[in-house]
Amino acid sequence: MANQKRNGKSGWLNQKFSRMAQTVASWTGHPLTFLLAVAVVVVWIVTGPLFNYSDTWQLVINTGTTIVTFLMVFLIQNTQNRDILTVQLKLSELVLAMKGAEDRFAAIEDLTDEELQELHDECKHRAAQTLTHIEERRGGSTGSTAGNDEVKARQGQNGTGGTKARVATARAKSQRKTAAAH
120/87 same-domain check: no
pLDDT of res. 124:
92
Last residue in a domain, options 97, 128, 162: 97
54 lies in the same domain as 86: yes
pLDDT tens sequence for the chain (182 residues): 444 455 566 788 888 888 898 899 889 889 999 999 999 999 999 999 999 999 999 999 999 999 999 999 999 999 898 899 899 889 888 888 888 888 778 888 888 889 889 989 998 999 999 999 999 998 855 544 554 555 444 444 444 445 555 556 666 666 666 565 55
Last residue of a domain, one of 43, 70, 97: 97
My answer on whether 24 and 69 are in the same domain is yes
Would you say 161 and 176 are in contact if contact means Cβ atoms under 8 Å apart?
no
Q: Which pLDDT score is estimated for 158?
A: 41
Cα–Cα distances in angstroms (integers) from residue 93 to residues 34, 64, 88, 115, in the given order: 37, 44, 9, 21
Query: Final residue of a domain: which of 55, 74, 97?
Result: 97
116 in the same domain as 83: no
Quote the CA–CA distance of 13 and 68 in Å, as a whole number: 22
Q: Are 135 and 163 members of one domain?
A: yes
Same domain for 86 and 126?
A: no
Same domain, 93 and 119: no
Q: What is the pLDDT of residue 73?
A: 93
Inside any domain, residue 134: yes
Res 164: pLDDT:
56
What backbone torsions phi and psi does residue 141 show, to the nearest 5 degrees? -75, 120
31 and 87 inside one domain: yes
CA distance 175 to 181: 10
Q: How distant, in Å, are the alpha carbons of 106, 112, 150 from that of 157? A: 39, 38, 10
My answer on whether 59 and 31 are in the same domain is: yes
For the question of whether the overall pTM of this predicted structure is more than 0.85, the answer is no
Residues contacting residue 147 through CB under 8 Å, at least 6 positions apart: 172
- Domain membership of residue 137 as a residue range: 111-181
For the chain, state the CA radius of gyration.
28
Q: Does one domain contain both 60 and 121?
A: no
Is residue 104 included in any domain, yes or no?
A: no
Number of structural domains (the chain) is: 2
